[in-house]
Amino acid sequence: MVVHVQQVLRDHGVSGEVRHLAESARTAQQAADALGVEVGAIANSLVFEVLGNPVLVLTSGTHRVDTAKVAALLGVPELTEAGAAFVREHTGQAIGGVAPVGHPEPIGTLVDITLARHDQVWAAAGHPHTVFPTTYDELLRITAGTAAEVDAD
């Protein structure tokens, strides 16, 4: 899966290289510690289920997604965190390593505006031991995502 994500990143003109980490980075804090960066510069990839369809929310590692706020943004009654089987089915990747790209089918994506505060952000690259550097604007571009305020007030 990582090789596929790497190719998709190249196809989108992403210059940052996938980095393999010695330790698993299933959480934003683990990734930040491994990379020596602020936890806020980690783009958590969280998959939610909305009316049977996936929605990907890329949020700053310092935030928790406010599901009621995001549901209202999307104009749907509710947003539920997807289980492992749903995530793998729709992304081809395991929870803790979901990349913003490289899924079997395009997934609607929201990108936390707080990530724009960082010159460089890090996102998963298809496996809990892989990440890649990018920027907020690049995340919006490669995911065809929508900038959104997704965190709890």
Instruction: Give the model confidence (pLDDT) of 13-41 as tens digits.
Output: 998 899 998 887 778 888 888 899 999 99
**What number of CA atoms fall less than 13 Å from residue 101's CA on the CB side?**
24
Q: Which CATH architecture has domain 2-148?
A: Alpha-Beta Complex (3.90)
Residue 81 neighbours by CB under 8 Å, 6+ apart: 46, 47, 48, 49, 67
Instruction: Place 5 in a pLDDT band, splitting at 50, 70 and 90.
Output: confident
Instruction: Give the model confidence (pLDDT) of 45-61 as tens digits.
Output: 999 999 999 999 999 99
Q: What pTM was computed for the model?
A: 0.92
Any idea what the Cα angle at residue 79 is, between residues 43 and 62, rounded to 5°? 25
Domain ranges of the chain: 2-148
